[in-house]
């Protein structure tokens, strides 16, 4: 049984700047690149490179880059049979600025991602007969809800990366087995500020009360807060020099579900995912920064 990722595909336009421009300010950047991205695609690539049998349910447009994007996913071993080409629109686009400390700002245009409706999803219902379903929030919310219902009915573990941050209906949260917000997303979902371990624990408790058994709150350089049925602990991360944090969270999520797919216990799976994310921030770009399983295991052996 496979991992199915249902989510977005974007074309990322990335420019590096000394710092982010203020309103009305023009800055000269460098190292402009056009690279594949999108949270769904990034997480599918991360899972596949980390060793998971992976299928991606998504949409691309009719633009010239769409075919090469899909070919790239296939080259990573991803099953692309549920990627639809949508007539009359472009593939989703992300405009990404990266500053000298590796932080980023991102502006999105949904493009073909908006066409991944519950009705279109229904034509790929067989892809939801999976062991795990991984979701994010760059496609219509009702599609995530439909996918979670279908996968849960088949006995799948439903994993939600609630990014970009937004409020979510209780009905969707009740279908989620494992949720992976960062600090901002956890606060948006719970109203609890995650400034320290006490805040992380309180936010995790609030998510448990929504019916979610396992909560993993990513804390950046401080590691993650892992809470199972209300019992929480912080797992420290890896100290690395960040070049570009784009797709670090996506890499974490993809590697996490890959480790779980091959039967790793939760805490070792989290460590594997942390190592993958640590490697990704030392490299520029989204999918271009995603490491392979052998690289991740090598870093873990050095730790």
Q: Which residues are annotated as a binding site for substrate?
A: 10-12, 38-42, 138, 250
User: 136: which 2 tokens?
Assistant: 């994010």
Active site annotation includes 250: yes
Residues marked as binding for ATP?
A: 182, 218-223, 249-250
Residues marked as binding?
A: 10-12, 38-42, 138, 182, 218-223, 244, 246, 249-250, 280, 283, 285, 289
3-state SS string for the chain: CCEEEECCCEEEEEEECCCCCCCCCCCCCEEEEEEEECHHHHHHHHHHHCCCCEEEEEEECCCCCHHHHHHHHHHCCCECCCEEECCCCCCEEEEEEECCCCCEEEEEECHHHHHCCHHHHHCCHHHHCCCEEEECCCCCHHHHHHHHHHHHHCCCEEEECCCCCCCCCHHHHCCCCEECCEHHHHHHHHCCCCCCHHHHHHHHHHHHCCCCCEEEEECHHHCEEEEECCEEEEECCCCCCCCCCCCHHHHHHHHHHHHHHCCCCHHHHHHHHHHHHHHHCCCCCCHHHCCCHHHHHHHHHHC
Residues marked as binding for K(+)?
A: 244, 246, 280, 283, 285, 289
Q: Which are the catalytic amino acids? A: 250
């Amino acid at each position: 049984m496979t991992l199915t990722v249902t989510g977005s595909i974007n074309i990322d336009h990335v420019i590096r700047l000394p710092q982010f421009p203020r309103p009305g300010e023009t800055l000269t950047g460098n190292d402009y690149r056009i690279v594949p991205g999108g949270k769904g695609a990034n997480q599918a690539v991360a899972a596949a490179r980390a060793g998971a049998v992976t299928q991606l349910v998504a949409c691309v447009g009719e633009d010239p880059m769409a075919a090469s994007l899909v070919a790239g996913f296939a080259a990573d071993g991803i099953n692309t049979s549920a990627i639809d080409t949508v007539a009359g629109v472009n593939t989703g686009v992300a405009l990404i600025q990266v500053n000298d400390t590796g932080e980023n700002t991102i502006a999105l245009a949904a493009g073909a991602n908006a066409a991944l409706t519950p009705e279109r999803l229904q034509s790929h219902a067989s892809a939801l007969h999976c062991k795990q379903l991984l979701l994010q929030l760059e496609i219509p919310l009702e599609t995530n809800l439909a996918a979670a219902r279908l996968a849960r009915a088949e006995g799948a573990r439903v994993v939600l990366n609630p990014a970009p941050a937004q409020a979510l209906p209780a009905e969707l949260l009740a279908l989620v087995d494992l949720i992976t917000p960062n600090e901002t997303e956890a606060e948006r979902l719970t109203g609890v500020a995650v400034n320290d371990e006490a805040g992380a624990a309180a936010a995790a408790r609030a998510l448990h009360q929504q019916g979610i058994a396992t909560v993993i709150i990513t804390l950046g350089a401080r590691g993650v807060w892992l809470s199972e049925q209300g019992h929480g602990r912080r797992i420290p991360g890896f100290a690395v020099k960040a070049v570009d944090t784009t797709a670090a969270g996506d890499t974490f999520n993809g590697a996490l579900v890959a480790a779980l797919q091959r039967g790793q216990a939760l805490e070792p799976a989290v460590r594997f995912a942390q190592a993958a994310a640590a490697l990704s921030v030392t490299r520029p770009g989204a999918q271009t920064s995603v490491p392979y399983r052998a690289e991740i295991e090598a870093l873990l052996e050095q730790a």
